[in-house]
Amino acid sequence: MKEWTEKERRRIFREEDRQELRELHETILNSRWRDQFHVQPVTGLMNDPNGFSYFNGKWQLFYQWFPFGGVHGMKHWYRVSSDDLVHWKNEGLALKPELLYENSGCYSGSGLPEKDTLYLAYTGNAKDYAKNRYQYQLLAKMDRYGRITKCEKPLIYPNPDYTEHQRDPKLFAYKDRYYILIGAQNPEKKGVMLLYSANSPEGTWQFDGELKVRGYETFGFMCECPCIERIGDKWILLFSPQGIEAEGDLYQQKYNNVYFIGDFDPEKLEFIPDGPYQELDRGFDFYAAQCASQEVYNDAAVLIGWGSCPDYTTPLTDEIGYSHIQTLPRLLTIEDGKLMQRPVPACESIKGEVLFEAKEGTILKDTLRGLMPETAVIHLNNPDLTSCELSLYSGNGKRGFEISYDRNTRKLTVDRTGMLNQFNTEYGTVRRVLLEDGLKSLEVYVDRSCVEIFVNDGEKVITSRNFPEPSEKLIRMGGSNIDLTIWKAQRTVEDDFVI
């Protein structure tokens, strides 16, 4: 991999760069791991989802973007849009760092639609000559034509009572008041969340204080990307705490993304959780998720996450000049006090022709003959009572990507040790998830570079990137009496060059 100099990483997009990026995009299109139904960067590196919202009759999604290669560098915002959360269209560059307050990047933030305006609150990451960091919460406004104007003055200046880590504003409205929740680090270097409020997004913002989660003091050494959302009469509070230690099968990623379900009292600056926090995803590659600001679903929220984690690399595509993906959007509901995460309804349209079908263990259709399709949606129901397994991408003497369930331990195991291309192995190659009530169903979305597994109708989700080689071409299923259907997955995400 090419060594990137600091100067190269600090590059900001200029009109003259279009041709270079067009060529980079053409090279990228030849990548065998370019996905078909996941949002991925037009060029360069993407990280967190930003400004996710329903505005002007469409879903709007922005992402953290370094345009010039598969490395973290000067962060811009790029925008994509969709009618249904599954068919995405590239819309182009949304924010580039040009103000003094953002001289080291337009960092993450959120969107709040109001009438003809989509408010975008984000962090201006600034550094002075001595490389001291200052983080400002800034505002930009997008109109119905997609034109974005920045407000030149920060909404919120660095809070002197916290360290330089103060970022990722979640802007939301509640009972006639506007709030911004940010992730921060206190002087003892512990992760906290700070709440600010105002009468209007462009009004005067006051610091209300730390948002305390009852029963907890702090979270790790830093809380990134907080998000708070109402689902029916409950609230969910999501954030990405850094520095939470692995605990048995839990918190296996370098950094993890967790949620609480509970009640929110802005006046008392308190979140009252119904139970301990839990991971949003039990897989290998998931972070910085945010919910869309929307009025489409009253009793549900729509969530999208970054299919990676800070400090992870994906050398095979980084080398080609692009890195990472966004996960499939998930519909979140609270059922019997539990958070359920299902693929959004339009994910049905990813399913193309049926390639394989078995009912109660009898094969009704098989056009695969043991060969792994390039993309697929796999549904498995009524699994065998003793065990069941699904192995993707085996061959060449390797075991591939294995999903298996053991009834005795009630654990579902996802093992990517048997893949030829290994990456980020220091955070483990196996995940184990205890299913209290056993395994009832699996819904697996397989794109060219990732697998997302929805277990028991959204009770647990497991996300994994994978970079299969052509020799890893077999699929194997085991277990008696299962109902299994495999569809070919269709392309839903456009991959044209728009900047």
Give the residue numbers annotated as catalytic, written as ranges: 48
The CB-of-288 to ligand FRU minimum distance in angstroms stands at 5
For position 64 contacting ligand FRU by CB under 6 A, the verdict is yes
For position 167 contacting ligand FRU by CB under 6 A, the verdict is yes
The CB-of-482 to ligand FRU minimum distance in angstroms stands at 39
**Considering CB under 6 A, how many residues would be counted as binding ligand FRU?**
13
The CB-of-182 to ligand FRU minimum distance in angstroms stands at 10
What would the x/- binding string for ligand FRU be over residues 44 to 63, using CB under 6 A? ---xx---------------
**What does the alpha-carbon distance between residue 384 and residue 441 come to, in Å, rounded to a whole number?**
11
| Contact yes or no for 40/493 (Cβ under 8 A) | yes
Q: Which two tokens stand for residue 245?
A: 């230690």
Using CB under 6 A, pick the residue from 224, 318, 443, 472 that binds ligand FRU. 224
**What does the alpha-carbon distance between residue 327 and residue 450 come to, in Å, rounded to a whole number?**
9
The CB-of-22 to ligand FRU minimum distance in angstroms stands at 24
Instruction: From residue 389, give the alpha-carbon distance in Å to each of 374, 418, 466, 470.
Output: 19, 14, 18, 22
The CB-of-483 to ligand FRU minimum distance in angstroms stands at 39
Our CB check for ligand FRU shows the closer of 186 and 394 to be 186
Tokens 């060529």 locate to: 23
For position 239 contacting ligand FRU by CB under 6 A, the verdict is no
Amino acid identity of residue 411, one-letter, is K
Our CB check for ligand FRU shows the closer of 48 and 229 to be 48
Our CB check for ligand FRU shows the closer of 6 and 436 to be 6
For position 447 contacting ligand FRU by CB under 6 A, the verdict is no
| Contact yes or no for 236/339 (Cβ under 8 A) | yes
Q: Which two tokens stand for residue 39?
A: 């949002």
The CB-of-136 to ligand FRU minimum distance in angstroms stands at 12
Instruction: List the beta bridge partners of residue 210.
Output: 194
**Closest among 267, 183, 272, 210 to 235, alpha carbons compared:** 272
The CB-of-56 to ligand FRU minimum distance in angstroms stands at 25
CB within 8 A of 227, min separation 6: which ones?
Answer: 110, 170, 181, 237, 238, 239, 289, 290, 291
Our CB check for ligand FRU shows the closer of 224 and 447 to be 224
For position 82 contacting ligand FRU by CB under 6 A, the verdict is no
For position 313 contacting ligand FRU by CB under 6 A, the verdict is no
For position 43 contacting ligand FRU by CB under 6 A, the verdict is no
Our CB check for ligand FRU shows the closer of 255 and 356 to be 255
For position 168 contacting ligand FRU by CB under 6 A, the verdict is yes
Our CB check for ligand FRU shows the closer of 64 and 485 to be 64
For position 448 contacting ligand FRU by CB under 6 A, the verdict is no
For position 107 contacting ligand FRU by CB under 6 A, the verdict is yes
Output the CA angle 72-73-75, nearest 5 degrees. 100
By CB atoms closer than 10 A (0-12, 13-18, 19+), residue 473 is: middle
264-284 burial by CB neighbour count: b if 16+ within 10 A, else e?
bebeeebbebeeebebbbbbb
**What does the alpha-carbon distance between residue 186 and residue 255 come to, in Å, rounded to a whole number?**
19
Three-class secondary structure of residue 295 per DSSP: coil
**What does the alpha-carbon distance between residue 192 and residue 286 come to, in Å, rounded to a whole number?**
21
The CB-of-219 to ligand FRU minimum distance in angstroms stands at 14
For position 108 contacting ligand FRU by CB under 6 A, the verdict is yes
Phi-psi region of 44 (alpha: psi -120 to 50; beta: other; left: phi over 0): left
For position 317 contacting ligand FRU by CB under 6 A, the verdict is no
* Residues 113 to 132 in contact with ligand FRU, rule: CB under 6 A: 123
Residues lying near ligand FRU in the complex (CB under 6 A): 47-48, 64, 75, 107-108, 123, 167-168, 224-225, 288, 310
